[in-house]
Amino acid sequence: MSTTNTNRNWLIWTAIFVIFCLLTYILRSVLLPFVAGIILGYLFDPWVSFLEKKRINRTLATFLVMFTAILVFIPIVAVLINLIDEQLARFIKIVPVYMTTIIKKIEPTIIDLQTKFPSFDLQTAANSIQNSLSENSKYISVFLKKIVSKSFAFFNLLSLLMITPVVTFYMLRDWDRFVAKVDSLLPRKSKKSIRKQAKEIDRTLAGFIRGQLSVCLLLGAYYGLGLYFVGLDLGIIIGLLAGILSFIPYVGSITGFALSLLMATAQFNDGYHIALVIVVFLFGQFLEGNFLTPKLVGNSVGLHPVWIMFSLLAGGVLLGFLGLLIAVPTAAVIGVLIHHAIENYKHSGLYLED
């Protein structure tokens, strides 16, 4: 009888999960502002709870946190837009000069290769590289177009600006009630186990999303300002990109370093500025490894970089920008559930049988 009940419970939860996934896919075009609001509510909840502990009304605390966030966010975005716009305009003008400079600098190497390897055909290699870049650019552009077309249409952008703050406000104000309501609906027999898994998911999400987001923002600001003061064209954009990608270990720093080195080689005619670019990234890695990540993230995350990359790619292909937003939280939830499933399996008769 108990086995029958267990099988029935599994079927019910599987059906609920499948229906939830189908609804998410069907409603993906309108879910973006709500998901963004929920994520922002989760990020800001510790601040609201802190003010609430100081005997400030929850509604007032929510208003104060959101008002402060808006006051900080708008000037930063305005400054970044101006800087990025100025750098892009400058970069577009000097792209042909950079291409010519790079070709001239690698020409001796190509001639040396032809001398050492007479069978080396320069034209064939150039055509091969050009075709490869063309194909890769085509795939990347198709992927980006999918994300943009699914997520940044005018209606979605307008809904992000109008609906997301409202959702964030109500999520922050009613967060404790929402958690209590969900807790009251948990199955009585499984409540203890579900609570344990929920706490582990929250710990993982808090460590990764809140902690790693802080690391990414600080690294992006450091790399962007560092490269800007070195004098690297497009340094702020490359630095921000390196910071954003830093939530995947080594990907952000390697990508930013490679792009910066390529730009520095094309832009500068001395080794001094190239050395400064290298110092910026070496010091950034030192900061990240010894101070930022240990202090802000800790060792309790447990999300493998390959799992993160797969979840981001899968989320982007299936749901566009919405998928990118929910990819890491979903990966964290699935990772915790798999961990508990493995632990239950190791204590089951199937694993322990002789």
Q: From CA 195, how far away is CA 203, in angstroms rounded?
A: 12
Cα 22 to Cα 36, 71, 318: the distances in Å are 20, 38, 12
Q: From CA 203, how far away is CA 92, in angstroms rounded?
A: 44
In terms of domains, do 276 and 235 share one? yes
Report if residue 234 sits inside a domain: yes
In terms of domains, do 87 and 174 share one? yes
In terms of domains, do 160 and 202 share one? no
Q: Which two three-digit tokens encode residue 125?
A: 């290699």
Report if residue 49 sits inside a domain: yes
Cα 164 to Cα 37, 143, 353: the distances in Å are 5, 25, 53
Q: From CA 241, how far away is CA 229, in angstroms rounded?
A: 17
In terms of domains, do 173 and 210 share one? no
Write down the residue that tokens 């109008």 correspond to: 162
The pLDDT tens digits for 228-252 are 898 888 888 888 888 888 877 677 8
Report if residue 311 sits inside a domain: no
In terms of domains, do 38 and 179 share one? yes
Q: Look at residue 283 in the predicted model and tell me its pLDDT.
A: 92
Task: State which amino acid sits at residue 244.
Answer: I
In terms of domains, do 82 and 36 share one? yes
Counting the structural domains of the chain, the total is 2
Structural domain of 254: 193-302
Q: Look at residue 293 in the predicted model and tell me its pLDDT.
A: 76
- ∠ Cα 226 106 93 (to 5°): 55
In terms of domains, do 176 and 273 share one? no
Is residue 222 within 8 A of residue 257, CB to CB? The reply is no
The pLDDT tens digits for 278-313 are 999 999 888 888 888 777 766 555 667 777 778 878
Which residues fall within 8 angstroms of residue 66, CB to CB, at 6 or more apart? 44, 165, 168, 169, 172
Encode burial over 90-113: b for 16+ CB neighbours within 10 A, e otherwise. eeeeeeeebeebeeeeeeeeeeee
Residues of the chain with pLDDT under 50: 1, 133, 137, 144, 147-148, 150-154
Final residue belonging to a domain, choices 185, 207, 231 = 185
Q: From CA 44, how far away is CA 62, in angstroms rounded?
A: 9
Which residues fall within 8 angstroms of residue 231, CB to CB, at 6 or more apart? 273
